Chains A and B, each alone.
Chain A
Amino acid sequence: MLVEQTKDYALFVLDPEGRVMTWNPGAQRIKQYAASEIIGRHFSDFYPREAIERGWPQHELKLAAAEGRFEDEGWRVRKDGSRFWASVVITALRGEDGKLLGFSKITRDLTDRKLHEEALRQSEERFRLLVDGVVDYAVYMLDAEGIVSSWNVGAERIKGYRRDEIIGKHFSRFYTADEREAGRPWEELTLARRNGRAEDEGWRVRKDGSRFWARVVVTALHDAEGQLRGFAKVTQDLTQQRELRNLQRAAQQVNEFVAMLAHELRNPLAPIRSAVQVLQKLPPGDPSVPAMYKTLERQSGQLARIVDDMIDISRITRGVLEIRKQPMELAEALHAALESAAPEVQARRHTIEVDVPRGGLQVSGDLHRLTQVLTNLLNNAARYTPEGGRITVKAAAEAGSAVLRVIDNGRGISPELLPRIFDMFVQGRTALERVGGGLGIGLALARRIAEMHDGRLEALSAGDGRGAEFVLRLPLCEAASEAATPAREPAVGKRHAAMRVLIVDDNNDAAAALELLLRSLGHETRVAHDGAAALATAGEFAPDLVLLDIGMPGLDGYEVARRLRALGGRRFRLVALTGWGQEADRKRSEEAGFDQHLVKPLDVEELSRALAPPEAGDDRNGATLH
């Protein structure tokens, strides 16, 4: 009765050969046959043709008879020929004597479940194909421990690993050694586990060890019970976009730099032009003349500093900036820097406080370069501190380092700018806001020079309007012997024994100015404006020194030098004057026979050194001339 009323299951009995012997309403509902239609027919009528052809119905009965029970799932056929997915259990029925009496068969229609599973499988397959086909993103899965468990084509393209090389390996290998040491991969998973998702942007490592800039999203995956099953990771290679961003930023900075450079060059040029015009109108001996000359000197010095900074930056970017280290007292560089920065401090009426020990801060350094660093810091402090401010300079020995601090109570540095303050061309102020001048290269230059001394330069500030502190740290060195102490530079404009100087320059003004200066120092001079005239004058004037411009029309300075050297005869020194100061230019001058290479604009100190008689061991030994 129970069997007869069961409609969800087809329950029927087969004889030992497989013919249908009984039939319930469930069997009729599922298979569509009435009992009168099917009883006595073979049960293989319920199987698709391909199953019949391979003898599957008989196989089922055989196994059920042998093992007592057989279970199967598969496609079956209804009376109308339509198929349904059936779960089948066949049980062998035996008499007390063990003789096979037939089989009971229970069939359940699982078509809906099967279709759902198939739809799910197809959906997963489509998703897998989609993910596999993505080449612009690395899409892969990690298990809960971070072991790679799937890998798409994009991952192979971006990271360089084939699927079979990386499945089963830990994902931390995609990180840089520093990040691994800092535990960054594990942090990322912890974050994703806690928040459901983690995002990051940073350097990642390819199989070949090269780096790429990646944007990464990690999503935690949980099952229906909320258990963590693993992580889905999507990585995008943004290296090119990053380079493009950097290029755009650099281009913008260069544009701003050029605008600033024009402005900075115009600043000293304007007073120079005014001073020249005033001087033209003033009678000799007028009391204003010395002030005009001071203006010219100060402003041309400013122009020279701008050009020097640019040349230094060029040297740094090409890695050819030279540092000549010698044992020196840091205070020496500081006092020289204070003198250099005095005009800037004075112009803004700042009080300056100097608290520096009188010794004991000996470092191995380049006096000129360290003076440059400290001048930069002092000028910066003066420029970015409102008039009447206070600048404090302190120095002390701290844990094996000479530590020098330049502290001001000026405009300060915003937290956003602070990390970039040592970048090239950064001032953190728009052109309209800028108050202090400068090209925004001084601090970049200063930090590089500090690093070249195995030191550090840091900036501290509590924020806008709260002052700034720059800290220079240099390793202290053992006290050097007297012999190691660098020789002092000759005093500016120092007079030497009168010399016969031949000036060769096609620029009449430059030649005239130089001649005036040399005569004021007591030397005898001749001027030639081209190479041919220089050769002729040299013969009859017999100079002790020839100051020879390189860039001249006709015979250039190199050729004139070679010909002068070829003349032989009385000893004289040959000094190149040029706007080109690169190492290659100096080498070329040396090859042409010059004893010394001076870069324009020539300052009095350099000229003074060129005029000094050669010392023993000096390689400026001169040549001879008739």
Chain B
Amino acid sequence: MAPTDRIQLPFRWEFAPEENPADRSVRWRWKAYSQAGRLALQSKVAFETLTQCMEDAKENGYGQPG
């Protein structure tokens, strides 16, 4: 799901690891939930590191002043 609207509300951001069962390697994805618990946004790809994942979330409003 790609971001469609400009972010207006404070989201609850989640950064979660995702294990590849084949080689047990881990990649990271982010999700943004509305305060009502509805999934509003999520990363389009998985990232090798949590830092990269956070950087991508920033592009979508994470950690940005309101």
Contacts and interface: CB of A to CB of B under 8 A. Distances in A.
A357 B28 CA distance: 23
B3 interface: no
Contacts of A352: 14-16, 50
Nearest to A340: B51
B14 A358 contact: no
Contacts of B19: 349
B66 A338 contact: no
B65 interface: yes
Contacts of A358: 10, 64-66
B60 to A, nearest CB: 13
Contact of A355 (B12, B15, B64): B12
Contacts of A351: 14-17
A614 to B, nearest CB: 30
Contacts of A339: 51, 54
B16 A329 contact: no
Interface residues of B, number: 19
A345 B50 contact: yes
B62 to A, nearest CB: 8
B13 A353 contact: yes
Interface in A309-361: 329, 331, 335, 338-339, 342-343, 345-346, 349-360
A335 B51 CA distance: 11
A302 B15 CA distance: 24
Contacts of A335: 63
B50 A342 contact: yes
A360 B66 CA distance: 9
Contacts of B63: 331, 335, 338
Nearest to A359: B66
A189 B14 CA distance: 57
B28 to A, nearest CB: 7
Given A339-B51, A342-B50, A345-B50, A353 B66 contact: no
Interface in B11-66: 12-17, 19, 26, 28, 49-51, 54, 62-66
Given A349-B17, A349-B26, A357-B66, A342 B54 contact: yes
Contacts of B15: 345, 351-354
A342 to B, nearest CB: 4
Nearest to B14: A353
Contacts of B14: 351-354
B65 A359 contact: yes
Interface string A343-386: 10110011111111111100000000000000000000000000
Given A346-B28, A346-B49, A346-B50, A329 B10 contact: no
A353 B54 CA distance: 12
A357 B54 contact: no
Nearest to A391: B15
Contacts of B64: 358
B50 A329 contact: no
B57 to A, nearest CB: 9
A329 B63 CA distance: 11
Contacts of B12: 353-355
A533 B20 CA distance: 58
B65 A329 contact: yes
Contacts of A338: 54, 63
A480 to B, nearest CB: 13
A355 B62 CA distance: 10
A610 to B, nearest CB: 26
A352 B15 CA distance: 5
Contacts of A355: 10, 12-13
Contact of A342 (B16, B49, B62, B66): B49
Interface in A379-431: 388
A335 B12 CA distance: 14
B10 A357 contact: yes
Nearest to A356: B10
Contacts of B28: 346
A356 B16 CA distance: 17
A351 B13 CA distance: 10
Interface string A584-606: 00000000000000000000000
Nearest to B28: A346
A358 B10 CA distance: 6
A302 to B, nearest CB: 16
A277 B18 CA distance: 33
A374 to B, nearest CB: 13
B7 to A, nearest CB: 9
22 contacts: A338-B63, A339-B51, A342-B49, A342-B50, A342-B54, A345-B15, A345-B50, A346-B26, A346-B49, A349-B17, A351-B15, A351-B16, A353-B12, A353-B14, A354-B14, A356-B10, A357-B10, A357-B66, A358-B66, A359-B65, A359-B66, A360-B66
Interface of B: 10, 12-17, 19, 26, 28, 49-51, 54, 62-66
A-B interface, 4 closest residue pairs, ranked by CB to CB distance from nearest = A358-B66, A335-B63, A346-B50, A359-B66
Given A335-B63, A354-B13, 20 more contacts: A331-B65, A339-B54, A342-B49, A342-B50, A342-B51, A342-B54, A345-B15, A346-B26, A346-B49, A350-B17, A351-B14, A353-B13, A354-B12, A354-B14, A354-B62, A355-B12, A357-B66, A359-B65, A359-B66, A360-B66
Interface of A: 329, 331, 335, 338-339, 342-343, 345-346, 349-360, 388
